[in-house]
Every structure is written in C-alpha cells, then in structure tokens.
Amino acid sequence: MSMWKRMILAWCCVGALAGIAAAQAPQKDYLSQIEADKIRDAETPNERIKLFMEYADDRLKKFQYELGRPSQTNHEQQLNYLMNAYIGCVDDAADLVTEGVEKQQNIRVGVDLIASKTKEFLVVLKKIQADGKELDVYKENLEDAIDGTQDAMNDAEKAKKNVAPPPVRRKS
C-alpha cells in the first residue's frame, strides 16, 4: 500500500473514533431540546417558573431512581449529571423570580410555587444526605443542591414581600 493511502486510512480511522467519542459525550445542557422549546414558548414568567420546577422535580426523582439501581457503566457521571441538572433548574427558576421582582411583573403564582416546592425538595435532599448510597460520589453536588435550594427558598420568601400585588377588583 502506498504511503498516501495509509495516511488517508489513518485519518479516516481517527475521524471515526473522534465521531464516536463526541457521540458518547454527555450533553452539557441540562434541558432537552423539547424542554428548552417549551420554556422558550411559555408566555409568562409564571409558566416558565412552573416548567423549571417541574423539570427540577423530574431530575430529583430520576436521581433517586438511579441511586436505587445496581451499579452500571457511567453510574457516577449519571448521578452527578442529574444533581447538576436539578441545581440548574432551581437556579433558573430563582433567577426568573429575581428578574420578575425587578421588572415588577405579576409572578405571585411562581413565587408561591417555588416556596412550596423548595421545602419539599429540601426534605428529599437532606434525606439523601443522611442515608444516601455512594455519598462520596456526589457529595459536593448534593451540598451545592441543598445550598441552592435554600437560597431559592429564601429568595422566594423575600419576593413574597416585594412582588407586585395582585390586581384588586373594585365593587361597583
């Protein structure tokens, strides 16, 4: 075989291996394309907050499910990915609350939702922290999740005081 054919063959093999490695790389964004489209299409901040909280709840449930499953390939990466995705959803919802307060938008429903859901999430996270399996694998992300959830809960409680009041109907 000529030298040029060998070089071309080698480059093809390298390209194929790089393509396989890229296909196996975990998705950096924690939302699927469909979820991102739903958030983008939501008309109000309350709807976006609701979606982020649903996705956070979903990620937390998937995390609990993965903890109960027997060890598999990429188990450690999957646990950390799910916890990071949960953190991202809660943080984005809290950011929408902060932005809504600054813009004096009517986000009372979203604020109430975050306040109630973060309390539920904290119970689950603290239970995982107390008796979770393989804690050393995801301990840092779990601590970040607890801190982020507490911050979101505190932000929601502060926002309840600062959010624009609901419209008042006047009696005629």
Q: What percent of the chain has pLDDT over 90?
A: 49
Question: In angstroms, what CA-CA distances link 157 with 18, 28, 51?
Answer: 49, 31, 20
The pLDDT assigned to 67 comes to 87
Q: How many CB atoms lie within 10 A of CB 125?
A: 24
Contacts of 55 (CB under 8 A, 6+ apart): 31, 35, 85, 89
Identity (one letter) of the amino acid at 123? Answer: V
Q: pTM of the entire structure? A: 0.76
Look at residues 167, 17, 33 and name the one whose alpha carbon lies nearest to residue 104.
167
DSSP state of 134: T
Look at residue 15 in the predicted model and tell me its pLDDT.
Answer: 58
- In 2-134, which residue ranges form alpha helices assigned H by DSSP? 3-24, 33-41, 45-68, 75-102, 108-131
Rounded to whole angstroms, the Cα distance separating 92 from 56 reads 10
Residue with more model confidence, 116 or 11: 116
The answer to whether 115 touches 156, Cβ cutoff 8 Å, is: yes
For residue 28, what pLDDT is reported? Answer: 43
What is the per-residue pLDDT for 133? 80
Average pLDDT, whole number, for the chain?
Answer: 83
Nearest by Cα to 114 from 169, 162, 143, 152: 152
Tell me, what's the pLDDT at 9?
62
